[in-house]
Every structure is written in C-alpha cells, then in structure tokens.
C-alpha cells in the first residue's frame, strides 16, 4: 500500500463519455482500479464500457449513489475549473486533473477555493498517480512498474515513465508514483508529497524528478534538509535549455537567473540529496 490511493479506493471519472475518458477508464479498470462511476452532464442514466460503469449528471449524485472518494478529470480545459469546483463541493477528497492547457488564472482560483475545503488536488497537466499492484488514477502505464518501497514524485510525464521502467528493469519496486503536473501553478507540490512519503511506512527511499522553471525543487531541498529522514535521489532535467524559452511544460521556463538546473542541483546537493545525471544513474544511487 502506498500514499493517496490503494486497491479499495473508489474512483469516479469526470468526462467519462469523451474519447480520452473512455480509453483511459478502460486502462484503469484493466489495471484493477475500483472505478464506480462516471460523470457527464446530460448523459445521466447511461452505462458505458459494456454496461460496467454508470454515468451520472453530477458529481454530487455520483458520490451519493456510489461513495466515490477520488475524481479523475478528463474534461476539456474550458470546463475544468468548474469540474473541480463541483468535485470539491460534492465532498471528493482527491482530484486528479489530467487536463492540460487550463488557463493559469483558472488554476489560481481553484487553488484558492480548495484551500478552504478538505479536497486535495493533483495537477493540472498531471499523468496521475500509480500504486503498483493496487490502483492507478490517470494515464501512467501500469505495466512499467512493480510494487516496492521507492516513492517517486515528478513534474515530468514522459520522463516519469522512463524512470519507472528503468527501476523495474533493475528489479526495484515502487510504493507510489505521483505526477504533480508541469504547469506553473499546481495543487500538491513536491514538499507536500515528500511529507506523505516521509510518513509512509511502506516507502523507504524517494526519487524526485524535477525540471527547469520555478523554485519547487529548491523548496523541496529545504524541506529535505530540515525534516526528511529517508534517502532521496534527484534527477533534474533541462541543463541546456535557453533562458526565456518554454521547454515542454508551461512551467518549464528559465526566467533571468532563476529556474536553472544548476540552481536546483546545488540546492538539492546541499541537502545531501544524491544527484543523478540520467535515469540510468538512479538504480545504482538507490542501491548505495
């Protein structure tokens, strides 16, 4: 068992009747995720995926009828903020927002709103959460990781997949993998996820995957130096990225003298974090 989700977690899908929603819902079900409902306004009363999943008009109705605890968002960017408000108002404890391209102003308003509720947010622009052998919420491929004791937290999607596969290829298992999202403003950050791993008895070491832009890695380094007792290995990418040019994610941009790989690596190294140059370096650093 890892953090945030486990085998018994009841998940609903907002935007389940869209192409992406249906496709990834089936993948999650194939993995063993306990999906209890879907939500698409105006489609309530329908059933999808060969009659396995009921569709409701609202999150509140879905929660009342099924006891859903976690929501995965596969709704278009223009509707995403309202979908997150609706999920929080319905009592959902964790929102995993896969949607990308949400305006920063919308995310800021959602972030402020959720701060007054008991609802946690992963994302936007997140690949989701994977607890190998138990449950996954999002789009992380389930077959690229095995159960184990290494926690993974990442700002990058595809790099996360590469690291998970590298760990599995070296017979290293994962407790939970959390993709916090690559936007400038996200819900749960590195520090909040690291704190969960620090308190998790099933996690013995942590891999942190960072990238250029912002100062989340520096904040993580400060937390690690002050409160973390478990070993941390970090990989920060974007070493050759030019200043002022966005690289991939909306949050991956060096502005002036801030947000560079060098700054982040120096802060993490000062906190006694082991630094990997490539994903292939991570297994040996974990085993030292």
Q: Which residues are catalytic?
A: 249
Question: What are the Cα distances from residue 227, in Å, to 192, 194, 221?
Answer: 12, 10, 10
> Strand ranges (DSSP E) for the chain?
10-14, 34-39, 47-48, 53-56, 70-73, 94-97, 120-122, 128-131, 135-138, 147-154, 174-179, 205-211, 232-237, 274-276
Indicate the pairing of strand 53-56 with strand 34-39. parallel
Residues 6+ apart with CB under 8 A from 156: 179, 182, 209, 211, 237, 248, 249
Rounded to 5 degrees, what are φ and ψ at 234? -125, 145
- Biggest CA–CA distance in the chain, Å, is 56
Choose among 252, 179, 243: nearest CA to 212: 252
Tell me the two tokens of residue 51.
Answer: 């009659």
If phi > 0 it is left, if psi is from -120 to 50 it is alpha, else beta; for residue 33 that is: beta
Long-range Cβ pairs for the range 39-42 (8 Å, 24+): 39/12, 39/13, 39/14, 39/15, 39/71, 40/14, 40/15, 40/16
CA distance 178 to 151: 8
């Amino acid at each position: 068992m890892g953090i945030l989700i486990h085998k018994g977690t009841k998940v609903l899908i907002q935007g389940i009747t869209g192409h992406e929603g249906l496709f990834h819902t089936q993948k999650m079900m194939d993995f063993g995720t306990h999906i209890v409902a879907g939500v698409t306004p105006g489609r309530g009363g329908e059933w999808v995926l060969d009659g396995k999943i009921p569709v409701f008009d609202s999150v509140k109705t879905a929660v009342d009828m099924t006891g859903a605890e976690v929501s995965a968002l596969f709704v278009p960017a223009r509707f995403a903020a309202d979908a997150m408000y609706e999920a929080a108002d319905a009592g959902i404890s964790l929102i995993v927002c896969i949607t990308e391209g949400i305006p920063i102003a919308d995310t800021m308003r959602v972030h402020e709103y959720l701060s007054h509720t008991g609802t946690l947010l992963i994302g936007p622009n997140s690949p989701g959460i994977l607890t190998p052998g138990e449950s996954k919420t999002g789009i992380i491929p389930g077959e690229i990781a095995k159960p184990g004791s290494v926690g993974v937290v990442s700002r990058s999607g595809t790099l996360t997949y590469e690291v998970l596969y590298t760990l599995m290829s070296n017979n290293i298992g994962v407790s939970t993998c959390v993709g916090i999202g690559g936007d400038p403003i996200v819900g749960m950050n590195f520090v909040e996820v690291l704190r969960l791993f620090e308190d998790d008895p099933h996690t013995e070491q942590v891999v942190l995957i960072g990238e250029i832009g912002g100062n989340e890695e520096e904040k993580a380094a400060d937390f690690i130096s002050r409160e973390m007792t478990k070993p941390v290995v970090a990989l920060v990418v974007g070493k050759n990225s030019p200043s002022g040019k966005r690289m991939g994610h909306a949050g991956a941009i060096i502005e002036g003298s801030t947000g560079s790989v060098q700054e982040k690596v120096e802060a993490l190294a000062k906190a006694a974090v082991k630094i990997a140059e490539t994903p292939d370096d991570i297994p040996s650093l974990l085993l030292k």
